[in-house]
Chains A and B, each alone.
Chain A
Amino acid sequence: MPEKPADLVQGTLDMLILKTLALEPLHGYGIGLRIQQISRGVFQVNPGSLFPAFRRLERQGLIKAEWRASENNRRAKYYALTDPGRKKLKRETREWETQTAAIARILAASTEEV
């Protein structure tokens, strides 16, 4: 039995959504799909957590929404990054990198160092 797709670390979903939107505005389905694709299927985003995340980010003013026609000419709600959203993403990315680097160092430490 293959391993279940990993659950997202708490709080990282917001960052991933912001990152996805940093490239181009996307609709909900597209965002979920993009995260899945880029992570090569490691993260599978459940709509049940995706939509509340949109509302949360929208309310914090980090993304904004707009109804538009989609590629195949259907109406869809597109989300785009706002300026505060862009700043937030930058900040979060930096923080994430610092933390993961630190964790990596700890995990890589040889027995003598510990």
Chain B
Amino acid sequence: MRLLATLGGGFRALFRKQEAERDLWDELRSYLEVSVAEKMQSGMSEEQARRAARLELGSAEAIKEEIRAAGWENTLETCWQDARYALRTLRKSPGFTLVAVLTLALGIGANTSLFSIVNTVLLQPLPFKDPSRLMMLFEGLPQIGSPKFPFSTPDFTVFQRGQKSFAAVGAIQDKEFDLSGQGVPDRITGARVSASIFPMLGIAPALGRFFRPEEDLPGRNVAVLSYGLWQRRYGARQNMVGETIELDREPYTVIGVMPQHFVFPLPGPPANAFPAALWVPMAFTPAELQGWGQRYDLSIFARLRPGVTLQQARSEGQALGAAIAAQYPQDILKDFSGARLTLPVFPWHQEVVGPVRPLLLVLMAAVGLVLLIACANVATLLVSRAAARRREIAVRRALGATRARLLRQLLTESLLLALASGGLGLLLAFWGKDMLLALAPADLPLPQNIGIGPGVLLFALAISCLTAILFGLAPAWHTAGTGVQQSLQEGIRTTGRTRHRLQGTFVAVEFGLALVLLIGAGLLIRSFGKLLGTDLGFEPDHVLTMSIPLPKAAYSSASHIRNLYKQLVQRVSNLPGVRNAGMADDLPLLAVVFHTLEIEGRQQVGKPPAVAETWILGNYFQTMRIPLRRGRLFTPQDNQNSQPVVVISQRMARQYWPGQDPVGKRLRQEDNQPWMTVVGVVGDVNDGPVGQERRPHIYIPFLQLSDTLTADNVVGEARSMNLAVRAAGDPAALASAVVTQVHSLDPDLAVADIRTMPEVINSSLAGPRFNTSLLSLFAGFALFLAAIGIYGVLAYAVSQQRHEIGIRMALGARPRHVLRFVLAWGTRLACLGAGFGMVAAIALTRLMKSLLYGVSATDPITFAGVTLLLLLVALLASYIPARRATKVDPMIALRCE
């Protein structure tokens, strides 16, 4: 009630202001009259009475002011007044306003666009039902350096039967398919998923239904399409459910279509992280179910049972790991070298955001620093402005404005500036967000969900207000505190020391922050340079690559597969413009699977050798120009009928036969496989992404693979060989001729991933390029702002001190003295900032260690170089005002007062 009455009165006062004023005026007059009458009755003359009454009442205006100041509406009104006043002052200095708004808008825009990504990726839960209870499970042998790797099928089934912590568990596995049947054949990445997966995620299909558990068996060929595939390939036909499509030339019935924004699996985890275009039932084959110790390539998802904690699930994982190991056949178990098998459990969200988290945090910190620098810059501008407004402020104080009142008014001005910048920054963010996403590496999860929603708007508003306080408070405090006496007396000739000290502090802070950013960028640029300069071990120029997968239905026997690939390499080698051609199951930079093997005459002690393994055909080494170091390369005579041979990498030789000649030594993949004789040693090649450590590598002739490995291989690597072609000229120009050769052998084959090797390298560097270019951009912007800042402060100080400089010159100071004086001042500020920046950088760059390659986080070269650059820029920025100072004509300077 009380509140309502107060509010009502307030509104009345706001809207019926005149009426209320008149009423008050009437009342005061009547008060005066009653008072006069009373006094006359007690014997005063009318004149005396009137005078006494007036004295008693005091200033009517003061009373009115006091009454007005009492209500809440008054605060609103003064705010409105302040805002209007601020608007007028800002309009009067459009130059300042423009520079301030643009500077801040860039800072706020950069922060907002990056935050829109951070918000979706790091802060929002995954877009599934009750996502915090969704877990990913791995197998692990922490004692021999493999803390987490994907599951193998038999291990998964043991886990599935034994576990009690989870309400649901399911497995998924990436799988590439030739999609045919309607339209041209297409190579797509799909996924095999357990029937339990979709219900676990709690997402309903947009059309049709999911697999039922009874469909999760071999031969029950059903498929669920992604929205994108349904749109792209099938024109969003409503009657798609029930249609038959061909996957690897086998018929599958479409039973459902997923909703538009459904992405699964999500990128991030180490395996099975490619968003699928369609899903088929996992349907483990009997061979997979019995394949103990063979294929570790299943990703396991599970939903925690209500009431079960992550900790409990983890300890159950320990126990189940032991239970799984107990079921392993003895001969395979010895590969574990006595290490205990565990089943580590991780929240899915952590797995998804893990790889991008450090990157996003570093970038967020960087844009935060940029905004701070922008604030410091605007603050120095405000302090300069305060000088011009010194008299205005002094007059207002003399008229009775309190410091608080002035502070409020000045902060209103800052807030207005910040809000205008925030609005503009938001516009920039819409555009900036798209730019960031275009540059972003592929492992950034959920890019399609990133948008400017209420959370981001709130963030923009919040940082705008924060910015206003950051850049406005110190100058406002300084300005509002100006003493009346001091200001009115202070001529134009002398300038306040505090003002210069304040501005100097801001500039030093700017330089410090800019140094931190520059060092960060410098470190990334240096590591990117190292990445680019890495000797990959092969020559990527002029090499064209493509993947030529063979569908199982059409190529069921090993001889079929061998024949096709052999003929293909033959034909492509004979094409005009082709220097060499070869095939490999894994191309450099793209290998993910590593194998264990056994070396003849060695007891298995400790870690078994883990090596990258590539099956090659044709002149692969010549095509990639991987140099031969010892022995010989494969010849066409190394085929099924000859003795099994192998070529190893230098690192392999060094690691397993140190100081010996490995040629003639023998090794084998598993107990039941034949021994392979080492015939040659080749140079090391980067098999994983650029920057990752190289592993020992063995090369096996494709033609010597056993029939079972070729034809009945679970993953079908032997059916998805990659062709590499070295062109005499432009490799991309060869693509169509090569594809024609493929189709001349089988017109229904899909050719995928047609890329030149430089393109492969490029995409392998997408992540480092993203953070390097962004951080460099931010650092450049920061340096620019800091330079402007130091220039602004010195130019202002020089113009303020013309008089003093004039006197000095009249007294005999040479121009070079003046020049040195101003330059020294600028340099001192920059050095001060650099000193503090260096300390901050040493503390902060440690956080970006995971983003660096081949450079330490406190790389002295980067630190020294960047500091030098910063000081140079400071010197340059100081030089212009310093030059101007030397041009001061003593006579004019003295006369101009």
> Which chain A residues have a beta carbon within 8 Å of chain B's beta carbons?
27-30, 33, 46-49, 51-52, 55-56, 58-61, 67, 70, 72, 74-77, 84
Q: Which residues of B contact A52 (CB under 8 A)?
A: 63, 66-67, 70
Q: With A47-B57, A61-B1, A61-B2 known to touch, is A29 a contact of B66 (CB < 8 Å)?
A: no
Interchain CB contact under 8 A, B34 and A27: yes
Give the residue name and chain of the B residue nearest to A88 (CB): B2
Q: With A27-B34, A28-B31, A76-B30 known to touch, is A60 a contact of B2 (CB < 8 Å)?
A: yes
Q: Which residues of A contact B58 (CB under 8 A)?
A: 46-48
Say if the beta carbon of B318 comes within 8 Å of chain A.
Answer: no
A52 to B67, CA, bound (A): 5
A18 to B490, CA, bound (A): 53
Say if the beta carbon of B465 comes within 8 Å of chain A.
Answer: no
Say if the beta carbon of B858 comes within 8 Å of chain A.
Answer: no
Neighbour of B27 across the interface among A28, A30, A74, CB < 8 A? A28
A77 to B6, CA, bound (A): 21
Q: Which of B739-766 contact A (CB under 8 A)?
A: none
Extra A-B contacts (17), CB below 8 Å, given A27-B31, A48-B63: A27-B30, A27-B34, A29-B34, A48-B58, A48-B62, A48-B66, A51-B67, A52-B66, A58-B9, A59-B9, A60-B5, A61-B1, A61-B2, A70-B30, A74-B34, A74-B37, A76-B27
Give the residue name and chain of the A residue nearest to B37 (CB): A72
Interchain CB contact under 8 A, B34 and A30: yes
A48 to B58, CA, bound (A): 7
Interchain CB contact under 8 A, A76 and B63: no
Interchain Cβ contacts under 8 Å between A and B, 30 examples: A28-B31, A29-B31, A29-B35, A29-B38, A30-B34, A47-B58, A48-B62, A48-B66, A51-B24, A51-B27, A51-B28, A51-B66, A52-B63, A52-B66, A55-B9, A55-B67, A55-B71, A58-B9, A59-B9, A59-B71, A60-B5, A70-B30, A70-B34, A72-B34, A72-B37, A74-B30, A74-B37, A75-B26, A75-B30, A77-B27
Say if the beta carbon of B331 comes within 8 Å of chain A.
Answer: no
Q: Which residues of A contact B24 (CB under 8 A)?
A: 51
Interchain CB contact under 8 A, B34 and A61: no
> What is the CB-to-nearest-CB distance from A92 to chain B, in angstroms, rounded to a whole number?
14
A11 to B314, CA, bound (A): 65
Q: Which of B48-87 contact A (CB under 8 A)?
A: 56-58, 62-63, 66-67, 70-71
User: Does more than half of chain A's interface fall in helix, strand or loop, or is it mixed?
Assistant: helix
Q: Which residues of B contact A27 (CB under 8 A)?
A: 30-31, 34
Say if the beta carbon of B351 comes within 8 Å of chain A.
Answer: no
> Which chain B residues have a beta carbon within 8 Å of chain A's beta carbons?
1-2, 5-6, 8-10, 23-24, 26-28, 30-31, 33-35, 37-38, 56-58, 62-63, 66-67, 70-71
Q: Which residues of A contact B67 (CB under 8 A)?
A: 51-52, 55
> What is the CB-to-nearest-CB distance from B76 to chain A, in angstroms, rounded to a whole number?
15
> What is the CB-to-nearest-CB distance from B240 to chain A, in angstroms, rounded to a whole number?
69
> What is the CB-to-nearest-CB distance from A1 to chain B, in angstroms, rounded to a whole number?
20
Interchain CB contact under 8 A, B31 and A47: yes
Q: Which residues of B contact A76 (CB under 8 A)?
A: 27, 30-31, 34
Q: Which residues of A contact B70 (CB under 8 A)?
A: 52, 55-56
Q: Which residues of B contact A74 (CB under 8 A)?
A: 30, 33-34, 37
Q: Which residues of A contact B37 (CB under 8 A)?
A: 72, 74
User: Does more than half of chain B's interface fall in helix, strand or loop, or is it mixed?
Assistant: helix
A52 to B2, CA, bound (A): 17
Q: Which residues of A contact B23 (CB under 8 A)?
A: 77
Q: Which residues of B contact A59 (CB under 8 A)?
A: 5-6, 8-10, 71
A67 to B8, CA, bound (A): 21
Residue with the greatest number of chain A CB neighbours at <10 A, chosen from B1, B23, B26, B34? B34
Q: Which residues of A contact B26 (CB under 8 A)?
A: 67, 75, 77
> What is the CB-to-nearest-CB distance from A46 to chain B, in angstroms, rounded to a whole number?
7
> What is the CB-to-nearest-CB distance from B239 to chain A, in angstroms, rounded to a whole number?
70
Q: Which residues of B contact A67 (CB under 8 A)?
A: 26
A52 to B69, CA, bound (A): 9
Interchain CB contact under 8 A, B2 and A77: no
A52 to B27, CA, bound (A): 12
Interchain CB contact under 8 A, A77 and B30: yes
A30 to B24, CA, bound (A): 17
> What is the CB-to-nearest-CB distance from B15 to chain A, in angstroms, rounded to a whole number?
15
A17 to B37, CA, bound (A): 22
Q: Which residues of B contact A70 (CB under 8 A)?
A: 30, 34
Q: With A51-B67, A77-B26 known to touch, is A60 a contact of B34 (CB < 8 Å)?
A: no
Q: Which residues of B contact A55 (CB under 8 A)?
A: 9, 67, 70-71
> What is the CB-to-nearest-CB distance from A75 to chain B, in angstroms, rounded to a whole number?
6
Give the residue name and chain of the B residue nearest to A72 (CB): B37
Q: Which residues of A contact B31 (CB under 8 A)?
A: 27-29, 47, 76
Give the residue name and chain of the A residue nearest to B62 (CB): A48
> What is the CB-to-nearest-CB distance from A41 to chain B, in angstroms, rounded to a whole number?
14
> What is the CB-to-nearest-CB distance from B17 to chain A, in angstroms, rounded to a whole number?
13
A29 to B41, CA, bound (A): 15
> What is the CB-to-nearest-CB distance from A59 to chain B, in angstroms, rounded to a whole number?
4
> What is the CB-to-nearest-CB distance from B822 to chain A, in angstroms, rounded to a whole number?
56
Neighbour of A61 across the interface among B5, B56, B63, B66, CB < 8 A? B5
> What is the CB-to-nearest-CB distance from A31 to chain B, in angstroms, rounded to a whole number?
10
Give the residue name and chain of the B residue nearest to A74 (CB): B33
Q: Which residues of A contact B62 (CB under 8 A)?
A: 48
Q: Which residues of B contact A29 (CB under 8 A)?
A: 31, 34-35, 38
> What is the CB-to-nearest-CB distance from B788 to chain A, in angstroms, rounded to a whole number?
50
Q: Which residues of A contact B2 (CB under 8 A)?
A: 60-61
A58 to B6, CA, bound (A): 9
Neighbour of B38 across the interface among A28, A33, A51, A84, CB < 8 A? A33
A14 to B770, CA, bound (A): 68
Neighbour of B56 across the interface among A47, A51, A56, A60, CB < 8 A? A47
5 smallest CB-CB distances across A and B, nearest first, come from: A59-B9, A29-B34, A61-B5, A76-B30, A77-B27
A46 to B63, CA, bound (A): 10
Give the residue name and chain of the A residue nearest to B5 (CB): A61
Q: Which residues of B contact A33 (CB under 8 A)?
A: 38
Residue with the greatest number of chain B CB neighbours at <10 A, chosen from A27, A59, A67? A59
Q: Which residues of B contact A51 (CB under 8 A)?
A: 24, 27-28, 63, 66-67
